[in-house]
Structure 1
Amino acid sequence: MPRNEPTEVTEERDGGRTARRRKAVRYAVPVAVAGVTAATIGLVPAFAGSGSPDLPKISAQDLIAKIAKSDVQQLSGTVQVTTDLGLPALPGGAGAGAFGGGQGGDGAGAAASPQSKLTELASGTHTLRVAADGPDKQRVSIVGKSADYTLVHNGKDVWAYDSGSNSAVHHTAPKDARRGTHRGAPEGVPQGLQNATPQELAKEVLKAAGDTTSLTVGDTARVAGRDAYQLVIKPKQSASTVGSIRVAVDAANGVPLKFTLTPKSGGPAAVDVGYTRVDFARPAADTFAFTPPKGAKVVDGDRAAHGKGEGRKGLDGFGGLPGFKDHQGPKGAGGLEVLGKGWTSIAALKAPGGPGGKDQLAKGDAGKFLDSLGSKVSGGFGSGHVFSTRLVNALITDDGRVYVGAVDQQALIAAADAAKK
């Protein structure tokens, strides 16, 4: 059979095919990329397999439709996550708390809180074991060198367990909540952890694919022993810091097996997530059973959240980030506004405390971290500091405005200038 050659999807198609394409791309990249990067921060391995299999030729449009039509409900496997955003070590040993990712309360409860694990995925390589059986049963385990961390969703129960501290947090999934890895995260589980699979990352990216995006089909590949096509996604907007995204798609069932995001600056992937092993048979029922071990510290997550007047949505602590519109923003933060379109969308908000927000951010270890990274810039907006990673950049102005996006420095300055007019 002929090897697949790159085929670009354009808008110059008859009305019927364009309509079908729009329907297929009902998922649709830009703001979603910023959200996924900021919260999932980090995921995938090298291809688990070698060689380029011979597969029937397929267009980008039909490959997107294949992903959209895929309805795999049962699977189990191992996912390798590698992240390289170019984030330096926090000065003074500051940890998750510097980003507001920590949880109040005693150490045991904080160790088992799902959001405490998000910062661990911000760099390096991690191994996850995943399993799913429909919208009501999922299990994700982060495998550590000396301890494991596990999230289990089984019907109305959502458990998070940290074996290192022998502590657990329990939540009740509301009957009317969107549930499951394929339907959205159960309440009490940060979306970032639920998104730690190639399927969910690909879905978030395809939600934003539009006329600012080039979609082509690259060479075929072998991933986790499966034949796969590769969908290549590139921004058409030059100010984007994203070079390309490659999604390896199972040729048989349309399930994304690998997600690789490479910055425009080159070098290794910034976000790389993929299966090294996958099985589409139904997992054993006891995979989703969980009982806290004897002597474990158990926290009632529902009661703890309501006791703080936050509700379960406040547990994420990522409400102010693009892609997390379903969650509350940090207390004192101004309303989030999205500027621009496509890959160069920029999230704009007021720092806590308005014009004094920059001074608040400058306090403590978080302030030392920002000062060590920031470069002084000025423009029509006034002056401020730009803080950069390999993918996401942020401008904090001296009058307390924050601009964040997967865009270059000049795009942030231009957005701040425009907001002043």
Structure 2
Amino acid sequence: MAPYESESAGRRKATRYVVPVAVVGVAAATIGLVPALADSGSPDLPKLSAQQLIEKIAKSDVQQMSGTVKISTDLGLPSLGGMAGGFTPGAGGSSDGGDGKAGSAADPQSKLMELASGTHTLRVAADGPDRHKLSVLDNAAEYSVIHNGDEVWAYDSASNEAYHSKDAAAAGDRAEKRSKGETPKGVPATPKELADEVLKASGKTTSISVEGTSQVAGRDAYKLLVKPKQAGSTVGGITISVDAKTGVPLKFTLTPAGGGKAVVDAGFTKVDFAEPAASTFDFTPPKGTKVTEGDDLKAQDKSHAPKDLPKDLPKGMPKELKDAQGGGMNDMKVIGEGWTSIAELKLPGGQGLPTGGSGSGDVPPEAQKFMDALGDHVTGKFGSGTVFSTRLVNALITDDGKVYVGAVTKDALVKAANAAQ
């Protein structure tokens, strides 16, 4: 019997469709690991060990490339639709908070998060560390982010809005590091050292092997398979297809332990390692474009911060005030290691989800029924709480305001919460 009891089969079915913001953030973060997709055939290539293939990746010195990427993500979340604008470029509109000043439909921070579900086609280009372009295509509309030196532009053709930011200091730091050619302290200096460190670090928790070959975007590739050795992880395995000639990862597929289609399947359908045209990274806002300056948004954020708090907060200040100042994340700690790591943190105020009923009055009974349908109610030595799930990441929010989140099973979350008592 599982170490917790579900309230109903209907609720279990509903849990995979809704997840707290923290879970969405962790799950969405998996998208940025490696670009890739579309493989066929098994070319006859010289045999390589896992260490040799990792070294090949580390030796890769590709600076220029361009291509088309298809990315499919199925975290078990519903279509966000009007709640988040879907990913129809421009559908999100401006978020001005009623004052017409804050937010932009082209702001990359919110726009690219929408890649967390569905299937999307992207065009990508790179020319060294300071020039990149990513465009998300959707029928006749297009959303692009262009990084050229110390400038970043984002443009949403559907809404005709643009976001602009300058970061001269960061660009200068990158140039200085490249000119010195120094290796940061503690970082392996050679591909072999890096491969040794990766294999050594993964020994107890991870299995790494070369599992055959494939073709990705018409190029021969090796398939590196990374799998958990630990029980309790929701990750079944990760396959990375590596270009046999350049060592560049071309395909990334993450499959869940529970089976079914991939959680993330991303890869090149076309790729070219020639230098992109310089004009690829040029951008001038079309006439009539509403331009939002990133510095202006930062200034607005600062203006909305509490003004009556001292710069140096006293050690004896109330915990609630510390939580408000630090977002309640200062108490976060990690339980376990490797694939079964679980982040534990406390919600501000030391309270869990709001509850309904005639006694508390926190939320109306109808709203409470809706919240109950979103997650599985669980109990244990820790007390009681609610588990919210995706196909990859699960989160337990206890009634006393603790959160346990990780790419682990529900049983593992309950076990961690019990052990923390």
- Do they superpose with TM above 0.5? yes
Residue number among 44, 65, 83 corresponding to 1:94 in the alignment: 83
- In 2, distance between residues paired with 1:71 and 1:375? 48
Mean Cα displacement is larger for which, 164-173 or 227-236? 164-173
Q: Structure 1 residues 343 and 370, CA, compared in 2 at 3 Å: closer, same or farther?
A: farther
Contact 2:378 2:384 in 1 (8 A): yes
After TM superposition, give the deviation of residue 67 of structure 1 in Å.
0.8
Q: Any gaps of 5 or more consecutive residues in structure 2?
A: 1-22, 87-93, 179-197, 305-323, 356-361
Residues 159-170 of structure 1: pairs in structure 2 closer than 5 A? 159-170=153-164
Note the 1:150-229 alignment, pairs <5 A.
Answer: 150-176=144-170, 209-229=202-222
Task: Give yes or no for contact 1:42–1:121 (8 Å, CA) kept in 2.
Answer: no
Confirm or deny: 8 A CA contact 1:40 1:118 kept in the other structure.
no
* Deviation digits for residues 186-245 of structure 1 (CA, Å, limit 9, x no counterpart): xxxxxxxxxxxxxxxxxxx99974530000111200000100000000000111000010
Asked if residue 384 in structure 1 is aligned to residue 385 in structure 2, the reply is yes
Residue number in structure 1 paired with 2:105? 111
Q: Superposed, which structure 2 residues align to 1:3-402 within 5 Å?
A: 37-39=27-29, 41=31, 47-89=37-79, 94-95=83-84, 105=97, 106=100, 109-176=103-170, 209-309=202-302, 332-335=327-330, 336-351=332-347, 353-359=348-354, 371-402=372-403
Percent sequence identity is: 62
Distance 1:363 1:242, change over 3 A: farther
Aligned amino acid, residue 57 of structure 1: K
Seen in structure 2, the aligned counterparts of structure 1 residues 215 and 401 have a Cα distance that, compared at 3 Å, is same
Cα 1:96–1:419 change in 2 (3 A) is: farther
Measured in 2, the distance between the counterparts of 1:51 and 1:222 equals: 6
**CA contact 1:262–1:269 (8 Å) conserved in 2:** yes
Structure 1's 34 and 108: CA in aligned 2 closer, same or farther, altered over 3 A? Answer: closer
Change (3 A) 1:247 1:366: farther
**For the residues of structure 2 that align with 1:310 and 1:216, how far apart are their CA atoms?**
52
Q: Tell me, what secondary structure is at the counterpart of 1:252?
A: coil
Partner Cα distance (1:123, 1:369) in 2:
23
Distance 1:310 1:341 in 2: 40
Partner of 1:26: none
Alignment partners' CA distance in 2, 1:62 and 1:228: 14
Cα pair distance change 1:151/1:274, threshold 3 Å: same
Alpha-carbon distance change, 257 to 45 in structure 1, aligned in 2, over 3 angstroms: closer
- Whether the aligned pair in 2 keeps the contact of 1:242 and 1:261 (CA below 8 Å) is yes
Cα RMSD after superposing both structures: 3.5
Deviation at 1:337, TM superposition (A): 1.7
SS of the aligned residue for 1:267 comes to coil
Measured in 2, the distance between the counterparts of 1:146 and 1:370 equals 38
What is the rounded CA distance, in whole Å, between the counterparts of 2:301 and 2:129 in structure 1?
A: 30
Quick one: distance in 1 between partners of 2:367 and 2:215? 43
Q: TM-score normalized by structure 1?
A: 0.73
SS in 1 for 2:246: coil
Give the stretch that moved more between structures: 42-51 or 247-256.
42-51
| 1:54 to partner: Cα distance | 0.4
Aligned partner letter, 1:274: G
The one-letter code of the counterpart of 2:400 is D
Amino acid at match of 1:388: S
Pair 1:354–1:259, CA change in 2 (3 A): same
Are the aligned partners of 1:76 and 1:280 in contact in 2 as well (CA < 8 Å)?
yes
Post-superposition offset of 1:415: 1.4
What is the distance in 2 between the residues matched to 1:404 and 1:343?
12
Change (3 A) 1:215 1:43: closer
| Aligned-partner Cα distance in 1 for 2:102–2:301 | 18
Is the 1:47–1:222 Cα contact (8 Å) retained in structure 2? no
C-alpha contact 1:73 1:135 (8 A) present in aligned 2: yes
Question: Which residue type is aligned with residue 94 of structure 1?
Answer: M
Supply the AA of the counterpart residue of 2:111. K
Tell whether the 8 Å contact from 2:62 to 2:248 is kept in structure 1 after alignment. yes
Question: What amino acid sits opposite 2:67 in the alignment?
Answer: G
Q: Deviations over 1:42-101 (max 9, x none)?
A: 8999953521100000001110111111121100001100011111356x953379xxxx
| TM-score (norm: length of structure 2) | 0.73
Give how far 1:388 is off. 1.1
Structure 2 distance, partners of 1:116, 1:49, is: 31
Structure 1 residues 89 and 290 mapped into 2: Cα distance closer, same or farther (>3 Å)? closer
What residue in structure 2 maps to residue 316 of structure 1?
none
Name the residue aligned to 1:319: none
Give the conservation status (yes or no) of the 8 Å contact 2:374–2:388.
Answer: yes
The answer to whether the 8 Å contact 1:42/1:272 transfers is no
Q: Which has the larger radius of gyration?
A: 2
Write the distance in 2 (CA, Å) between the matches of 1:349 and 1:206: 30
Q: CA deviation at 1:382?
A: 0.8
Mapped partners of 2:390, 2:369: distance in 1: 17
Residues 332 and 109 from structure 1, CA distance in 2 versus in 1: closer, same or farther, beyond 3 angstroms? closer
Q: 1:110, CA displacement in angstroms?
A: 2.7
Q: 1:416 to 1:400 in 2, by over 3 A?
A: same
